Amino acid sequence: MKVVGVRTEKLRIRTRGSTDVVDITKDVQSALARTGLRAGTVTVFVTGSTAGVTTIEHEPGLVMDIREALDRFAPADASYHHHERSGDDNGHSHIRASLVGPSLTVPFGEGRLMLGTWQQIVLLDFDTRARDRELVVQVLGE
């Protein structure tokens, strides 16, 4: 692939916190379309240490399953050293974000994300309150 350029866009997404799972696929596809690039990769990165980005089948049952699984891995009501040291109440949020990770890279061709039929890009906000999240969408392609 002949690399023509790198384009960077920023998205603002309002979340509810408390393991809010937001489908951002259309937002990422729109950002990709604005670049005019036809083939390459898109990286989606959420700034902040209490949110993550991944792919899932975004349907209500699976969203509940993800929340319940993360509750088992990092329960909100557990004791966290972070609470003692910083006075915060979101130690579980940081743990969950580190498990999911802050970024995702997706290939694209003919100007379209190459996602599976039941695969959507989601932002997961684990913090204890609503937030305005910033996402960096960086497109490398031709």
124-138 residue pLDDT tens = 999 999 999 999 999
The pLDDT confidence band at residue 4, using thresholds 50, 70 and 90, is: confident
Rounded mean pLDDT of the chain?
96
- In this prediction, residues 14-42 reach a mean pLDDT of 97
Spatial separation of the C-alpha atoms in residues 62 and 39, rounded to whole Å = 31
Closest to 1 (Cα-Cα) out of 30, 37, 26, 25: 37
Q: What's the CATH code of the domain at 86?
A: 2.60.120.460
Spatial separation of the C-alpha atoms in residues 118 and 56, rounded to whole Å = 8
Distance, C-alpha 110 to centroid of its chain: 24
- In this prediction, residues 49-62 reach a mean pLDDT of 98
Edge-to-edge strand ranges of the sheet holding 51-56: 20-23, 120-125, 51-56
Q: Is 19 left (phi over 0), alpha (psi -120 to 50) or beta?
A: left
82-121 residue pLDDT tens = 988 888 899 999 999 999 999 999 999 999 999 999 999 9
Domain that holds residue 21: 5-141
Q: Is the pLDDT of residue 3 over 70?
A: no
Quick check: pTM over 0.85? yes
Count of the separate structural domains present in the chain = 1
Q: Is the pLDDT of residue 1 over 60?
A: no
pLDDT cut 90: percent of the chain above it: 93
Q: Return the minimum-mean-pLDDT range out of 46-50, 62-66, 78-82.
A: 78-82
